[in-house]
């Protein structure tokens, strides 16, 4: 069945609401408006205001309400319009939801799913365009995932709803209109996925950078360089075994991350490679990250600030010619 990333998320939300009366959706404009990205369009009329709850412009307030509802036995799906605004709710996510199981000695769980739009590429300027996945992946108690394909956009939400602890799902705004044929979408939230096998170099990435990595791999193939593309998918916990396996196959690696280079998830991946399989490398790893600036509004500057296929190609040629 062919569907878009947006339609895949919507189908997953609808299925969850139908299957479990404890599930409800809460966030800004998710009700009568149908969602900022049209992912809950029609849900308000179908499920009513008790289960499709429009929230005020107070991330700290409604995210906290979602945490409390989860502790009370509900299965809330809390939508944060953009990851930048989630910083207003960091206390509830990082200091509350992530810690309750530990601080209660296992007496309490917080089965809440936080969905956040992330990333740049649509000229939404700096306050709506950053990638803070690594900030959340730093926190014990959270499971952090980033669906980079239509199938994962369909399958990760139902998988997240099986967990008794908080799950953060990052949905990249640049993927919402992407389409693909989806036959099998069920997935776990444990393992990375090889999206393109290869023998010469590993390109490791996630989320909105995945299509760029695949495009770069196609261009490299025309030049005789066989690149393997690994989609991390799960950012906490990282699938370090899959990362080590691909490095041992290809002996060269480029990590692509839309976050800034300083303190990036790419840096964590490279550090893990150094710890687990340093002597399998035939060249130093390379990172392709966003430039160290707030994401610009102007299209040509936004494009220049972000990882792009040509930058990935150049990095791969550096490591393959080393």
Q: What is the CATH number of the domain that holds 221?
A: 3.40.50.920
Residue 186 in any domain: the answer is no
Same domain, 161 and 238: no
Does any domain span residue 292?
yes
Please indicate, yes or no, if residue 197 is contained in any of the structural domains: yes
Question: pLDDT tens for residues 239-257?
Answer: 999 999 999 999 999 999 9
Q: Dump pLDDT digits (tens) for 293-302.
A: 999 999 999 9
Q: Could you say which of 148, 181, 214 is where a domain stops?
A: 181
259 lies in the same domain as 132: no
Whether residue 179 lies in the annotated active site: no
Structural domain ending residue among the three candidates 181, 202, 236: 181
Give me the domain span that covers residue 225. Answer: 193-320
Q: Which of 28, 128, 133, 251 is catalytic?
A: 128
Distances (CA, A) of 127 to 82, 120, 123: 9, 10, 11
The pLDDT, as a whole number, for residue 39 is: 95
Asked if 143 and 167 touch (Cβ cutoff 8 Å), the reply is yes
DSSP E strands in the chain: the ranges are 2-4, 23-27, 52-54, 75-80, 113-118, 143-145, 167-172, 179-181, 193-196, 201-205, 227-231, 234-236, 253-260, 286-290
CATH number of the domain that 99 lies in? 3.40.50.970
- Based on the fold, state whether residues 236 and 97 are members of the same structural domain: no
Helices (H), 38-149: 43-47, 59-71, 83-86, 90, 100-103, 133-137
Same domain assignment for residues 122 and 241: no
Beta bridge partners of 260: 290
Q: What is the pLDDT of residue 322?
A: 59
202 and 148 housed in the same domain: no
User: Which of 181, 202, 219 is where one domain is finished?
Assistant: 181
| In a shared domain, residues 19 and 141 | yes
CB 41 within 8 A of CB 91: no
pLDDT at 316: 98
Asked if residues 110 and 100 have their Cβ atoms less than 8 Å apart, the reply is yes
pLDDT, residue 321, reads 87
Query: Does this model's pTM top 0.95?
Result: yes
- Are 173 and 268 found together in one domain? no
The reply to whether 316 and 197 lie within a common domain is yes
Which residues does the chain have with pLDDT short of 70?
322
Q: How far apart are CA 174 and CA 84, in angstroms?
A: 16
170 in the same domain as 33: yes
Kindly report the backbone phi and psi dihedral angles of residue 33, in degrees, each rounded to the nearest multiple of 5, phi listed first: -75, -25
Rounded to whole angstroms, the Cα distance separating 110 from 125 reads: 33
Candidate list 7, 59, 133, 171, residue with the active-site label: 59
Q: At 212, which helix (H) or strand (E)?
A: helix 210-222
If asked whether residues 277 and 316 sit together in one domain, one would say yes
Residue 209 lies in a domain: yes
Same domain, 172 and 271: no
Give yes or no for a cis peptide into 302 (omega within 30° of 0).
Answer: no
Is residue 170 within a helix (H) or strand (E), and if so which, with residue range? strand 167-172
* Residue 128 is a catalytic residue: yes
Residue 1 has what pLDDT? 87
How many domains in the chain?
2
Q: What is the CA 273 to chain-centroid distance, rounded? A: 21
**Dihedral (CA of 195, 200, 204, 208) sign:** negative
Q: What is the rounded CA–CA span in Å between residue 126 and residue 104?
A: 38
Residue 192, C-beta contacts closer than 8 angstroms, at least 6 positions apart: 230, 231, 232, 233, 234, 239, 242, 243
- SS3 category, 162: coil
Please report whether residue 70 resides in a domain. yes
């Amino acid at each position: 069945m062919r569907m878009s990333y947006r339609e895949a998320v919507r189908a997953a939300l609808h299925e969850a609401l139908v299957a479990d009366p404890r599930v409800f959706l809460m966030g800004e404009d998710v009700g009568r408006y149908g969602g900022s990205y049209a992912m809950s369009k029609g849900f308000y009329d179908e499920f009513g205001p008790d289960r499709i709850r429009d929230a005020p412009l107070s991330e700290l307030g409604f995210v906290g309400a979602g945490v409390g509802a989860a502790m009370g036995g509900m299965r809330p799906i809390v939508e944060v319009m953009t990851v930048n605004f989630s910083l207003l709710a960091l206390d509830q996510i990082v200091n509350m939801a992530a810690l309750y199981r530990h601080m209660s000695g296992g007496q309490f769980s917080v089965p809440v799913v936080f969905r956040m739009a992330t990333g740049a590429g649509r000229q939404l300027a700096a306050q709506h365009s950053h990638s803070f996945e690594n900030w959340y992946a730093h926190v014990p108690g959270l499971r952090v995932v980033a669906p980079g394909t239509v199938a994962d956009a369909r399958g990760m939400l139902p998988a997240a709803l099986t967990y008794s602890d908080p799950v953060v799902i990052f949905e990249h705004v640049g993927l919402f209109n992407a389409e693909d044929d989806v036959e099998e979408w069920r997935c776990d939230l444990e393992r990375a996925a090889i999206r393109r096998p290869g023998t010469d170099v590993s390109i490791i990435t996630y989320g909105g950078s995945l299509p760029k990595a695949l495009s770069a791999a196609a261009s490299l193939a025309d030049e005789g360089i066989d690149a393997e593309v690994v989609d991390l998918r799960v950012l906490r916990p990282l699938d370090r075994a899959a990362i080590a396996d691909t490095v041992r196959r290809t002996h060269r690696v480029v990590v692509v991350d839309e976050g800034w280079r300083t303190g990036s998830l790419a840096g964590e991946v490279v550090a893990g490679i150094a710890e687990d399989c340093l002597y399998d490398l035939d060249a130093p790893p390379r990172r392709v990250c966003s430039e160290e600036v707030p994401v610009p509004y102007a299209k040509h500057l936004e494009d220049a600030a972000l990882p792009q296929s040509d930058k990935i190609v150049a990095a791969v040629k550096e490591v393959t010619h080393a």
